[in-house]
A and B are shown apart, each in its own frame.
Chain A
Amino acid sequence: MATVTTKLNINSSDLLSDSISISQSDSWESVTQGGIQMEKITGTTGSPTTLYVHGDWYVLSGSAEAAVKLYFKNTDTTSTDYIYIRIGAVDVAKLRGGEFMWLPWDTSSSGADDIKVWATTSGTLLEHGAFAPAGA
């Protein structure tokens, strides 16, 4: 089994009276499936592209081990070429060109939703990946 390590740094020196400096590292040692790929997104708001089907990743309902981690990055250099991440009927995230996100997807319910995406400009490139433990 493989180890996936992520580290997030958040910094701001001028938003508050004191500076913000957060550094969080998460190392996940039981990964057996996953990877990163680049994909042109041609889906639209009315017809989004399905990236990750919940049924393919769902196994251990209610188990802490059923987690799937998702990574997305809009690689476009134009900030107004948006890519939306949709779960169910809700656009949970809006990635401007160059922006990234990372989230542990809740796949623990058998009724959970697929991950879909759509772009405001057809052909915008999305780098994305999913990582999961054995059995998922």
Chain B
Amino acid sequence: MATLKAKLNLTCTDLLSDSIKSETTNTWTNITEGGIISEAIVPTTGGAAKLLYNLADFTNKPAYVYLRNTDTDSAKLIYIRTVDPAGNEDNFIRLKGGEWAWFPWGNSMSIKVFAHTTLTILEHGCFSTD
């Protein structure tokens, strides 16, 4: 089993009277599957969204999802959708060019993706245990 570390730094010095500074490191030592790939997202509508990660492959497994829109144009959006076991779909993340997301997957839905502009590149990965 492999070790995976994810670290988040969040800072802001000028929003409040006091500055915001948060740093968190998560370490997992039992990762068995995962990796990061880059993929061109072709669909441009929610109805045609591509399945990115299937719930059936990760049921009851702790899993961690990384997503990043690699485009340099902030207007080239990538949408991430949930698909519940009944097939209902709903957008929940919108990544502008350059933006990223990281979350521990709730293991209650599959994940689909579509782009505002076809062939926008998504860098993504999912890390899980057995």
Chain A residues close to B by CB (< 8 Å): 2-16, 20, 22, 24, 26, 31-32, 34-36, 64, 67, 71, 73, 84-85, 87-96, 98-109, 112-113, 127, 129, 131
Contacts and interface: CB of A to CB of B under 8 A. Distances in A.
B59 interface: no
A67 B5 contact: no
Given A84-B106, A92-B109, 9 more contacts: A8-B6, A9-B7, A10-B6, A90-B90, A91-B108, A92-B103, A100-B26, A100-B102, A103-B93
B59 to A, nearest CB: 12
Where chain B touches its partner, the secondary structure class is strand
B3 to A, nearest CB: 6
B19 to A, nearest CB: 10
Interface in B72-115: 74-75, 77, 79-80, 82, 84, 88, 90-96, 98-109
Contacts of B95: 104
A5 B11 contact: yes
Where chain A touches its partner, the secondary structure class is strand
Given A90-B84, A92-B103, A67 B92 contact: no
A73 B24 contact: yes
A95 B95 CA distance: 21
A96 to B, nearest CB: 7
A5 B102 CA distance: 15
Interface of B: 2-16, 20, 22, 24, 26, 31, 34-36, 62, 66, 68, 74-75, 77, 79-80, 82, 84, 88, 90-96, 98-109, 125, 127
B92 A87 contact: yes
Given A12-B3, A94-B106, A64 B74 contact: yes
Nearest to A89: B84
Given A88-B90, A106-B94, A15 B34 contact: yes
Nearest to B111: A92
Given A5-B12, A64-B74, A90 B82 contact: yes
B8 A20 contact: no
